[in-house]
Amino acid sequence: MTYLTGRVTTPALAMARHLMQVTLPPDLKEVAAYYGWSRDLGAGPDADRPSPRMRADLDPHLARLVGLDPTTPLDLDTVANLLAGRRADGRPIPGKQVQRGERVTFIDLCFSADKSVSIAWALAPTPGEAAVIALALQEAVHATMVEAVAPQIGRARRGKAGRGGSEAGEIAWLAFDHWTSRPTPGSAGDAQLHVHCPVLNVVRTADGRVGGLDLQRLRGRVHELGAIFQANLARNLRRAGIAVALDPKHGCARIAAIPEEVRAAFAKRTAIGTAAAYAQAEKLVLDWDELDERARVALLKQGPGERMVENVR
């Protein structure tokens, strides 16, 4: 698990675009929607972007506070507003007292599956088997957030810098499923299942008091929380009848049916392909972060050469 802190200086709209980028191959979108593990927004200017998932058991009082409606899909602007530390509609969060010098608006926890899990998902012989793996990943993330993350940081601080202690409360997060390490996959080797969970820096206690996350309690526990996620993922896969072993070095949940040489080859292919695309963009005096999905795919799929310029500009 990796951990990123979002601040008032973080470009919220750019971050929202990154989180809502298209990473699912077009031929899988209909299947994903049928099995319920991924859906596009379906309408408006962001119609082709994947729809973020809200916390499934989101407290209704907190939902109203930050302007979230579980029945309404979140578009790009709404996500950007939340990441900027505001309500979904862009207005200030009622009762949220921003301490002087406080700049954190969210934290992004990213949960990644082992390469063997991604390969098994990408090469699953049937859509149903791919769905089993995808849903196992999503449930493992949810269980980790509810049972391990929320009890730790879901505490509203009292006093300046939390000197008055803290009180347990409800927190909100979104989940963005990324299926590949690239904007769209060029092959099965590009599969890299990971889930971003930005947690809003808002805590609502039972008596209605509103505060910020107690991030001090997260220090030194990132690896522990990552291990809990891997254990949850292993449990879910085993329940589905998939043989899983925990990697003795890194503690990742690895699918035993995927040989180590295959896992290593796919991981190396992804790393080399992405590095080559970055280098090609630099050679053509292009800013990778400013390129759209079509341009990135052009760089990732084609070999080097000046003939690519017209494809990506």
- Can you give the pLDDT at residue 165? 73
> What whole-number distance in Å separates Cα of residue 204 and Cα of residue 58?
12
pLDDT at residue 42 in the model: 82
On average, the pLDDT of the chain sits at: 85
The reported pTM is: 0.82
> Does position 142 have pLDDT exceeding 80, yes or no?
yes
**Once rounded to an integer, what is the mean pLDDT over residues 65-84?**
96
Residue 298 confidence class, pLDDT cut points 50, 70, 90: low
Which tens digits make up the pLDDT trace of 177-234? 999 875 444 443 368 899 999 999 999 999 999 999 999 899 999 999 999 999 999 9
- From 104, 83, 60, select the one nearest 211 (Cα to Cα): 104
3-state secondary structure of 198: strand
Burial class (CB in 10 A: 0-12, 13-18, 19+), 293: middle
CATH for 2-258? 3.30.930.30
Break the chain into its structural domains and give their ranges: 2-258, 259-313
pLDDT in tens, 15-41: 999 999 988 888 889 999 999 999 998
Q: Using one digit for the tens of pLDDT, what is the confidence trace for 234-269?
A: 999 999 999 999 988 889 999 999 988 888 777 655
Percent of the chain exceeding pLDDT 70 equals 79
